[in-house]
Amino acid sequence: MIDDILTGIPLGFFLSFMIGPVFFVLLETSITKGFRAAMSFDFGVVLADVFFIAVAYFSSYRLIQSIKDDPALFIFGGIIMFTYGLITFLKLRKAHKLIDPDEVFIEIIKKDYFSLFIKGFLLNFINIGVLGFWLAIIITFGPKFDMEASRMAIFFSAVIGSYLITDIGKVLLAKQLRSKLTPTNIIKIKKISSILLIVFGVILMVQGWFPKEKEFVKETLEKIEQTH
- What's this model's pTM, rounded to 2 decimal places? 0.68
User: What is the pLDDT, as a whole number, of residue 65?
Assistant: 57
Q: How far apart are CA 112 and CA 201, in angstroms?
A: 25
Q: How far apart are CA 25 and CA 197, in angstroms?
A: 9
pLDDT above 70 for 58: yes
Percentage of residues in the chain having pLDDT higher than 70: 72
Residues 6+ apart with CB under 8 A from 75: 204, 205, 208, 209
Percentage of residues in the chain having pLDDT higher than 90: 18
Average pLDDT score over the chain: 76
- Are 87 and 190 in contact by the 8 Å Cβ rule? The answer is no
User: What is the pLDDT, as a whole number, of residue 102?
Assistant: 47
State the sign of the Cα–Cα–Cα–Cα dihedral 124, 127, 128, 131: negative
User: What is the pLDDT, as a whole number, of residue 61?
Assistant: 57
E strand or H helix at 121, and its extent? helix 113-125
Range from 46-60, 137-151, 162-176 carrying the lowest mean pLDDT: 137-151
- Are 45 and 22 in contact by the 8 Å Cβ rule? The answer is yes
Kindly state the average pLDDT of the residues 15-32.
82
Residues 6+ apart with CB under 8 A from 125: 48, 51, 52
Kindly state the average pLDDT of the residues 157-176.
89
DSSP conformational letter for 41: H
Q: How far apart are CA 29 and CA 43, in angstroms?
A: 13
Task: Using alpha carbons, select from 64, 21, 45, 23 the residue that is nearest to residue 204.
Answer: 21
pLDDT above 80 for 26: yes
User: What is the pLDDT, as a whole number, of residue 184?
Assistant: 65
Identify residue 58 by its one-letter amino acid code.
Answer: F
Residues 6+ apart with CB under 8 A from 41: 25, 26, 29, 116, 117, 119, 120
| More confidently predicted of 44 and 203 | 44
Going from the C-alpha of 127 to that of each of 52, 75, 80, 184, the distances in angstroms are 11, 10, 10, 31
